[in-house]
Structure 1
Amino acid sequence: MSTRRWRPAGVSEERLSRPRVREAFRSARLLVGCYVGLSALTLLAIILLRNHPDLVTDAVWVRATIVVVTSLLMASFAARAARGHRRSYLRLRWASGIMVVAIAAIIAVPGAFPLWLKMEQGVCGLLLAGVFVIVHGKQLRAAFAER
């Protein structure tokens, strides 16, 4: 007995194959990939510097772990959105905006995090701002518009 799994309608292959849409997703996925890589490298640096309490605080551990998890989620959203999944596209739009705001708050709060982490978060924020601009751009909005 074969069971069919219900799957919501996605975006047509015709819309996804447009050169500008493909290029937009390529750029967004590259930026998200850089975010994943930087987040993983930061966590590795924290592990290596764990015996330096002036550089690695409990707040740094928590923030870095959250960032790695969210970066992997965003990579999943970007990959699925590029395959035409509307909900993943919406999640990518929301997550990129929320993360940029969260990073701005991290940078703005005085004394909560060491300067090196704020600088790393600034780079992450720039990467995600690029994702935000791309996924809110005309090409992708048109591709995912309900018709």
Structure 2
Amino acid sequence: MLLITLTLYVFAWRAQLGYYWAYQRLRLFSRVFPIVTLVIAAIPGLYPFWMVIEQILFSVLMVGIGDVLTSDHMRLTFPKPVRRTVR
């Protein structure tokens, strides 16, 4: 969980600086991490009950963040860069 949090922090920091790739990673991870955390939390006996609840809340929060990241406003804020072709 610490590594997930650190990667999200780094991508958020880089996206704040205007990097499109970091925004794309945030969008991707906001869709993948909730699934991963719910699957891991569903393994019986792996985590105590309070931590399972924490993982569910984390997943709900990440789904909300994913919705914000895919909004029209965010897509306009981070337009896809145009590839330059070399002749």
TM-score, normalised to structure 1, is: 0.50
Letter of the aligned partner of 2:56 in structure 1?
G
61, 72, 79: which one aligns with 2:6: 72
Task: Describe the SS at the equivalent of 1:110.
Answer: coil
Letter of the aligned partner of 1:112 in structure 2?
L
Letter of the aligned partner of 1:105 in structure 2?
V
Residue matched to 1:131: 65
Deviations 1:95-121 (A, max 9, x none): 111101112212333333321211111
Which sections of structure 2, spanning at least 5 residues, go unmatched? 83-87
Which sections of structure 1, spanning at least 5 residues, go unmatched? 1-66
Q: Provide the alpha-carbon RMSD of the alignment.
A: 1.6
Residue identity (%): 28
Pairing 1:110-125 to 2, within 5 Å after superposition: 110-125=44-59
Between 1 and 2, higher relative CO (CA 8 Å, sep ≥ 6) is seen in 1
* Higher Rg of the two aligned structures: 1
CA distance in structure 2 between the aligned counterparts of 1:87 and 1:96, rounded to whole angstroms: 14
C-alpha deviation, 1:135, in angstroms: 0.8
Deviations 1:19-40 (A, max 9, x none): xxxxxxxxxxxxxxxxxxxxxx
Pairing 1:4-19 to 2, within 5 Å after superposition: none
Task: Describe the SS at the equivalent of 1:75.
Answer: helix
Deviations 1:59-89 (A, max 9, x none): xxxxxxxx11110110111121122101111
Q: Kindly tell me the number of residue pairs found equivalent between the two proteins.
A: 81
